[in-house]
Structure 1
Amino acid sequence: QTLITCALKNNKGLIPNAEKRRFHTLGLHRPIAHLNTVVRNDFILVDNICGDLDFEEGGNPVVMNRILAFRDPVLCDAFVCESMGHKPEEVDYIMLAQQLGVGSADTAKAHMVYLNEDLSTKKKPPMTGRVKKLASYTDSQDACSACFGSLIYALDRLQERGELKKGLPPVAIGQGFRGKTGDIGVGHCTACFSKSLEGCPPKAADMVEFLEKEWVCKHM
């Protein structure tokens, strides 16, 4: 109902069931934003080892192999939005919480520290049918979990918009493409390609914009 569930919406777990139901009658977004002005968090830990394409109860898992830590719940949710291929502006309670002074949704100005990045290319768990179909649009060679997972989220957003029906060449991704040339790729490892999106890994939201600009819009 709100596209994502993370730090801000998670605070609903601190209120009685009757209030949770009332939040739904009030439209969720505004009450969630206001709840975070009185129930404040200054340290958030997010399990991003294996998320899901679109449903918090699971069903279509996407392996990312990372734990996220934040001091700002608004920044946390904005980052998670972009990791899933959404813009923070698409989730009303994030922007409302920012307006109410809970935190900042500006990830571009955030200070990010990366520790012990997962560069493993070991075989990932079996993919569900839906994820496997999205993966068919990729050309993955020794791709890290976070990078490949971000691309799967981006492709899912494009599919939601009906843009994958227009056709898309396999998008190169992974350490196996370092120093090689090609048509279109994402991530720092495809820097030598004709069209490449920088990042290690790039955000899924940036991948969506990149693929729309460099391929979808040019082949409509």
Structure 2
Amino acid sequence: MTLRHHFTRLICAFAVSACLSQVPAFAARQPGPEQDAAQQLALQAQRAQMLSRYQAERAACMHRFFVNACLDASHKQERSALAPIDVDLQAIALRARMRAAEAEMRQVQANIAAAQTGQHDSAQAERQSAARATALAQREEQAAARARQAAAGASKVAAPPPVRPETAPPAPRLFPAPAPQPAPQPALNPAQRAAQAAQAQADYAA
């Protein structure tokens, strides 16, 4: 049953309550269900006795001279005797319908409250689910970040040390070139050496 049906039945229950509140007998006194049930049984028994009595009277009218007049009088007396009983029975029936309407109204109100509570619980469950999903995404992102950091550290440890370029030998220091040495003289024979010595002495004496 939809929420619109609940509201419709609730309005009907209020309407019945308003109508029954206008009945004087109902407004003045409201017996309980047990009292109404006992009174209903008593009234129904009394009504059955009245019917039996007037049926017997009408049967006796058939033996009288003025049959129609006797029957009319019997029917009139029967209606007068049964009228208050029927009024009481109708009041009992009205009270029973009123109690049923009130019970239905309470049930409708309970259903509406349950529906509202269910909607609130559903919204709260959705919020909690969204919060759990957000927290899970954050934990997954943190785990991925830690995994990336661990992978980066492992790659640093496993990588070989960088190859440094070999150091070139120092450049030789430049010194001034030595003066050219005189070409070696060829070896002199004894005659040449004697001539050379004589020349030297002559040069010295001069």
- TM-score by shorter chain over 0.5: no
- Bigger radius of gyration: 2
- Which of the two has greater helix per residue? 2
Query: Which of structures 1 and 2 has the larger relative contact order (alpha carbons within 8 angstroms, sep 6+)?
Result: 2
- Which of the two has greater strand per residue? 1
| TM-score where L is the length of structure 2 | 0.16
